[in-house]
Structure 1
């Protein structure tokens, strides 16, 4: 029987939580760390690697604490699913050890930075089975549920607060992840990525993808989010859709305006304009106060997160919130 889990504080009315930035792009381009298959989970296999990850998350948590905002603390497990870890040479025991280790590392970071004013929630990150930018290798919803349950069941036996499914590009995989999270008794936030036309790679609109997941699961996800897209890639009029406005609570933006194909083939990092990105997300927060989770993705670093936080606070939507419960470490 899954253990009881408290309500997620980042979904309270008026809450404002920052996320980290682009973990893999920061490590690869700014720190010169080799990431086979773009897999940051490889760093969880050594003391030196865990120190690198701890330093990265410490820097981002420090921004949130300094601004008096909450923080969504990710696990470094976007690539830590069965197919990608098999390419990295993991056996079943190493697969489980790495995923558990990711939560333990997050707990240590939370103990350092959480305050009454800056609550921290641990997001157990699940990435797409195939690439994050293409929907050609599609599974059925049940195939996706069976596949992702291996990782989600491990997270359900840790102190992770919820499942965060990032960079999904078709609804069947999102439905499968939701089914697996529901079976494990884990709260889940589903985050889609969109192309420059504002649609998923599958051709679905954000509204269509959300509706497909909600109808299948009985509205099980805590909410939805969008990540790995620049604010200018969001479809015009998207926020006029009541379903989108009610259900989308987070934006994690790319620094670059480039398409996914352009980013995938680039040998340099486009870090855009941190202050401009901050203003854009601050304006989204002002006009959509239901957005309680804001942060970065590819090309972003602490400069972008700082700018996003400052701009969002200046939008006048954030309010102080009392602490709910003790940190689960």
Structure 2
């Protein structure tokens, strides 16, 4: 049984990391333009920050005898934010490849490596907390294709989208991942009233995604409720 199968069959929850960009900025003093953690891959100091962050979770998972879902530093490495950070399509693909290789190297060096799953992380093409544009599924699939195609080519264990604000973008991402044969998880941003930033009820958003994607999302999450 592979690690992904164990994730879905194990009665013991896997551990995941929590808020990479926020953690590195406030605890490590990292400088990340537009919250783009992938820029840390460009320097030895940045790579060391990422290494410490990941290994702290590897160690925690080992002590707890749990599996760990390790997210790549690629939340901003998509077709919406890439151009704002100087990346064209080829640059987006290169950054994502490098991030996956970095994660795999860290995993292979740790004694708990057989229990660590590599998660290709996606973020929204726009603001994950106050969306300025509601994407159609077609627009979303186009903006996220370079990243998703790279995740599929590099055979990550699962791709996961975080801080997604509306179903249109979610549906486009999920359907593109399905076309690529890529396992996919989805997490919506919610406010303290349980609604998305658009005001849509979470239950309605989940039902809309399920209906439009054939129920192929492996699991759902919520994140970043604001007070």
TM-score, normalised on structure 2? 0.93
Structure 2 distance, partners of 1:166, 1:8, is 22
CA-atom RMSD, angstroms?
Answer: 1.8
Between 209-218 and 8-17, the greater mean CA deviation after superposition? 8-17
Alignment correspondent of 1:64: 61
Match in the other structure for 2:13: 16
Tell me the SS of whatever aligns to 1:122. strand
> Hey, what does 1:192 align to over in structure 2?
188
Within 5 Å, which residues of 2 pair with 1:38-57?
Answer: 38-57=35-54
In the TM superposition, residue 202 of structure 1 has moved relative to its aligned partner by: 1.7
* 2:126 matched residue in structure 1: 130
Distance 2:140 2:20 in 1: 25
Q: Aligned partners of 1:114, 1:16: CA distance in 2, in Å?
A: 20
In the TM superposition, 1:218-257 aligns within 5 A as 218-229=214-225
Aligned residue pair count: 226
Q: Higher RCO, 1 or 2 (CA under 8 Å, sep at least 6)?
A: 1
After superposition, the C-alpha distances for 1:160-216 in whole angstroms (9 at most, x for unaligned) are 111101111111111010011011110100111100111111222221111111111
CA shift in 2, pair 1:168/1:114, >3 Å: farther
Runs of 5+ consecutive residues of structure 1 not aligned to the other structure? 230-257, 260-329
Alignment match of 1:82 (pick from 76, 79, 89): 79
Query: In 1, Cα distance between the equivalents of 2:109 and 2:201?
Result: 40
TM-aligned CA deviation for residue 99 of structure 1? 0.4
Q: Which has the larger radius of gyration?
A: 1
Gaps of 5+ in 2: none
